[in-house]
Amino acid sequence: MLKIGLIGCGRISKNHFEAITAQPDAQCIACCDIIAERARETAEKYNIPFWATDYEEMLNIADIDLISICTPSGLHPEHGILAANYGKHVLTEKPMAVRLRDADELIEACDKGGVKLFVVLQNRLNPSIQLVRRAFDEGRFGKIYMITSNVFWTRPQEYYDMASWRGTWEYDGGAFMNQASHYVDMVQWFGGPIEEVKSITATLARNIEAEDTGSAIIRFKNGAIGSINVTMLTYPKNLEGSITILGEKGTVRIGGIAMNKIEHWEFTDKQEYDAQIENANTNPSSVYGFGHTGYYRNVVDSLQSKAKPTSDGLEGRKSLYLLEEIYKEKQTSNVLRLTFHQNKRKESNV
Ligand SMILES: NC(=O)c1ccc[n+]([C@@H]2O[C@H](COP(=O)([O-])OP(=O)(O)OC[C@H]3O[C@@H](n4cnc5c(N)ncnc54)[C@H](O)[C@@H]3O)[C@@H](O)[C@H]2O)c1
């Protein structure tokens, strides 16, 4: 039985508790949150025997094998490094850090501590994505020419105001780093490694430090071109979350609310599993999807040496590398942002 302690009993933790409960050979035995009420209520709801507000108190429980980290993104490295120092395996929510150097410190601490590091990229396990990956690994696309992703979602100001870490550079990042990070990961998973990135980002309407809108263009080392267009300002609700892969011998488009639906599937060659594409489409109720259960299954199997991790620290780092490249052009976007606001001021003077 894998014994788990979870830190950060906020919105995403529910998916973790449900995913852990679904595993016959894993159990959450402790939870921790700086808000005592939240930790206590969570423990009651999910029958967790121990709760704490002090993280080290939880880490001192010798029985815990794995720490699941669901705190604000900027805190993942600190919480992961501490867990590794206590000899616990580490599972962290995405993104694994908001800066590459912090991610590297986390990877190093886990290596030194002789523990495994898992980064939750649950959408890679969606049945639809798995089928596309199979076709990709079998070379059915031929040469890849272009990969594009659109994330046209809506996040009102109230969403950002729910917690003070949201939209800050220190703990969150913006639309690319938080909301669109699974799409960024998918683009690099199919297109990477990366040769060069150009981007423009802007904070057009929300009162946050980081961007609410942006576009990135990528040249991959294999010569293909990628693009990612993201906004959290779509009126009046989420409109699109899609990835399109255009190759020499195949075209696939994945949509749905959490990359769960194959909208276009066309290859020169035909395979018996082409008939499964309808069955692979799922209907999750939120953009978080169903993937956490499969993700935990893989974690337990990896720790029992029955499987390879689907996304470990080095895989999580690849996404973060692309995110950091996108943000390198932040300076330029700050100038654009200023220009936008100056223009707006001029317009209102007229
Ligand atoms: N995989 C996914 O699809 C997915 C979806 C949503 C969120 N996330 C990630 O999960 C993380 C959390 O997001 P959320 O929406 O649940 O945030 P949230 O604000 O709802 O929850 C964070 C929790 O951490 C607690 N916390 C903060 N600092 C702490 C500390 N030092 N010690 C203990 N507890 C502390 C807060 O009190 C809060 O309860 C983020 O990194 C986010 O990117 C991933």
DSSP 136-187: HHTTTT-SEEEEEEEEE-B--HHHHHTSTTTT-TTTT--TTTTTTHHHHHHH
Nearest atom in ligand 1 to 32's CA? 33
**Cα distance from N-terminal residue to C-terminal residue, the chain:** 69
Pairing, β 2-7 against β 66-69: parallel
Q: Which residues line ligand 1 (CB under 6 A)?
A: 7-12, 32-35, 38, 55, 70-73, 75, 93-94, 120, 122, 163, 178, 288
Pairing, β 240-247 against β 144-152: antiparallel
State the Cα torsion 301-70-65-86 to the nearest 10°.
Answer: 140
For residue 284, the model assigns a pLDDT of 64
**pTM score, whole prediction:** 0.93
Exposure b/e, 274-284, CB count within 10 A at least 16 = b: eeebeebbbeb
| Best residue for ligand 1 mutational test, from 37, 51, 59, 93 (most atoms within 8 Å of Cβ) | 93
Closest listed residue to residue 120, CA positions, set 344, 326, 313: 313
Tokens of residue 161, six digits: 């105001």
Query: Which residue pairs from 303-311 have beta carbons closer than 8 angstroms and sit at least 24 positions apart in sequence?
Result: 303/2, 303/65, 303/66, 303/89, 303/116, 304/25, 309/116, 309/118, 310/121, 310/124, 310/125, 311/118, 311/119, 311/120, 311/121, 311/124
From start to end of the chain, where are the E strands? Answer: 2-7, 26-32, 50-52, 66-69, 89-92, 117-119, 144-152, 194-202, 213-220, 225-231, 240-247, 250-255, 261-267
C-alpha 321/C-alpha 194 separation (Å) is 9
Nearest atom in ligand 1 to 182's CA? 3
C-alpha 53/C-alpha 58 separation (Å) is 9
As a whole number of Å, the CA-based R_g of the chain is: 21
For residue 329, the model assigns a pLDDT of 72
Q: How far is the CA of 32 from the centre of ligand 1 (A)?
A: 12
For residue 70, the model assigns a pLDDT of 98
Task: Please tell me the residue having the least CA distance from ligand 1 atom 31.
Answer: 34
Q: How far is the CA of 164 from the centre of ligand 1 (A)?
A: 11
C-alpha 33/C-alpha 16 separation (Å) is 15
Per-residue pLDDT of the chain (350 residues; tens, 9 = 90+): 999 999 999 999 999 999 999 999 999 999 999 999 999 999 999 999 999 999 999 999 999 999 999 999 999 999 999 999 999 999 999 999 999 999 999 999 999 999 999 999 999 999 899 999 999 999 999 999 999 999 999 999 999 999 999 999 999 999 999 999 999 999 999 999 999 999 999 999 999 999 999 999 999 999 999 999 999 999 999 999 999 999 999 999 999 888 889 999 999 999 999 998 888 777 666 666 678 999 999 999 999 999 999 999 999 999 999 999 999 976 545 545 544 444 544 454 43
Tokens of residue 264, six digits: 């276009």
Helix extents (H) in 22-123:
36-45, 55-59, 76-85, 100-113
Q: How far is the CA of 221 from the centre of ligand 1 (A)?
A: 34
Residue 241: what are its φ and ψ, rounded to 5°?
-140, 100
C-alpha 89/C-alpha 74 separation (Å) is 19
Q: How far is the CA of 139 from the centre of ligand 1 (A)?
A: 38
Nearest atom in ligand 1 to 13's CA? 16
For residue 331, the model assigns a pLDDT of 52
Q: How far is the CA of 109 from the centre of ligand 1 (A)?
A: 22
Q: How far is the CA of 297 from the centre of ligand 1 (A)?
A: 21
Q: How far is the CA of 284 from the centre of ligand 1 (A)?
A: 21
Pairing, β 89-92 against β 240-247: unpaired
For residue 264, the model assigns a pLDDT of 96
Q: How far is the CA of 347 from the centre of ligand 1 (A)?
A: 40
C-alpha 83/C-alpha 8 separation (Å) is 14
Q: How far is CA 248 from CA 18, 49, 189, 251, 270, in A?
A: 41, 55, 18, 8, 15
Q: In the chain, what are the domains?
A: 2-119 (3.40.50.720), 143-247+312-336 (3.30.360.10)
| Best residue for ligand 1 mutational test, from 35, 37, 40, 71 (most atoms within 8 Å of Cβ) | 71
Say if residues 126 and 349 touch (Cβ distance below 8 Å): no
Helices and strands per DSSP (H, E), number in the chain: 12, 13
Is 334 strand, coil or helix? Answer: helix
C-alpha 123/C-alpha 344 separation (Å) is 39
